[in-house]
Amino acid sequence: MDTLSGRNQRPVQQRTVAHPAQPQQQAAAPQQSTQYRQPRHEAPKKSLWKKLLPIVLGVLVVGALGFAVWSTVFGANSLIDGGKYQAVFLTNGQVYFGKLKKIDNNYYTLTDIYYLQASSTGAENAENPQDTAQSNSDVQIVKLGTEIHGPEDKMVIGSEQVLFFENLTKEGKVSQAIVQYKTTKK
């Protein structure tokens, strides 16, 4: 009678009685599954990666900027003593002396430029012409710009052409020759 009054409106589940000769059939009404479903692991990894990606990119950008600043402050420019002359050794075997400054990672400038020129006063050593100890060579310093083509006293050098450079001491023969050249040319 409760069904007629509408108070208890629960659906009635049908039960099936298993027949000994037939396998038991499940009821037509849906039943809840008792199997445990494992959560999908792909979704948390993707969301974790999406959360970490901006952090990783931020760290990389800050690291790159930090390296750029560090290399500018403590890179080649910090090794160049602006109060001294530098000897710049190039890949083609030439050596120039002057005031070196790094423009960027690709170029240097060299100003107040000098180079050495050997003039032989006697018979040259046939075995090794660069061995000045055994030949009577006089080495003199030459100011860039006195050549026939009249270059300016500024040279832009690609960094890939520079093997290495050295700061010269004021007591060195090249530095003293530059000072002497400047005093005699004034």
Cα gap 16→82, rounded to integer Å: 100
115: left (phi over 0), alpha (psi -120 to 50) or beta: beta
pLDDT at position 22 is 55
DSSP secondary structure letters along 79-129: HS-TTS-EEEEETTS-EEEEEEEE-SSSEEEEEEEEEEEEEE-S---SS-T
Q: Which two tokens stand for residue 121?
A: 């006063």
Task: Using only the alpha carbons of the chain, give its radius of gyration.
Answer: 43
pLDDT at position 129 is 47
Q: Structure pTM?
A: 0.51
Cα gap 40→33, rounded to integer Å: 18
* Tens of each residue's pLDDT in the chain, 186 residues: 455 555 555 655 555 555 555 555 555 555 555 666 666 555 555 677 777 778 888 888 888 887 766 565 555 556 787 788 999 999 999 999 999 998 888 999 999 999 988 876 655 554 554 454 555 567 788 888 878 888 888 999 999 999 999 999 888 889 888 888 888 876
